[in-house]
Amino acid sequence: VSPRLRKALALFGRLPGVGEKTAHRYVLHLLTASGDLASELGRAVLELPTHFAPCSSCGNIAELAGATSAQCAICTDHKRDAKLLCVVARVTDLMAFEKPGTYRGVYFVLSGLLSPLEGIGPDALPIAQLLKRIQSEQIREVILATPATVDGEATALFLRREMQALDVTVSRIASGIPHGGDIEFIDSVTLGRALEGRKTL
Ligand SMILES: [Zn+2]
């Protein structure tokens, strides 16, 4: 395989859910598809970092408008309850919780979970930033909406302990989320109910 091809394959392979086989399929498709798919895709990808960045408050994806600091559409929506904070592992989970359209609070994206097995400790996550935000913005309630996996539960437990000294109600999304379930693939109704039925810890 030519170095150029090998590089393209390796880059596709770094995308979530794309293994060696799929990377091959994508690259072959780009090389053989009619029209301009490869250049169009390349241009669209190239423009992404110029127009989008992680929200400076919550970690959601924010569309950059002008030179103002990046804040997402949720954080800048004044009709939302800024004192109700839902902590999620990933942006895809945030999007899943947004789908039912019933949650009116704001979010904090951890961009990962604690994982002793993979060597991901508290220092690898923006936990200090989360605790600071809870205090400085006088958050009333934190909903721990990490998935019902070993790492998700461990992270929720750790965060609950860290928040014990703070003047804030901490709740955990209700079960009904299957154990080991990936939040982004759970239907909207179940997710809406999980938020509604959250339990104070
Ligand atoms: Zn935001």
Mean pLDDT by 10 residues, the chain (201 residues): 93 94 95 90 92 93 79 94 97 94 95 91 94 96 92 93 94 73 76 80 79
pLDDT at 116: 83
What is the CA(117)–ligand 1 centre distance, in A?
30
pLDDT at 187: 77
What is the CA(59)–ligand 1 centre distance, in A?
6
pLDDT at 200: 85
pLDDT at 52: 92
Q: Judge contact between 161 and 142, C-beta under 8 A.
A: no
pLDDT at 177: 61
pLDDT at 179: 61
Amino acid at 160: R
What is the CA(1)–ligand 1 centre distance, in A?
43
* Phi, psi of 21, rounded to the nearest 5 degrees: -60, -50
pLDDT at 107: 98
The length of the chain, given as a count of residues = 201
Q: What is the DSSP string of 9-54?
A: HHHHHTSTT--HHHHHHHHHHHHH-SSSHHHHHHHHHHHHHHHEEE
What is the CA(180)–ligand 1 centre distance, in A?
27
Residues near ion ligand 1 (Cβ under 5 Å): 55, 57-58, 60, 72, 75
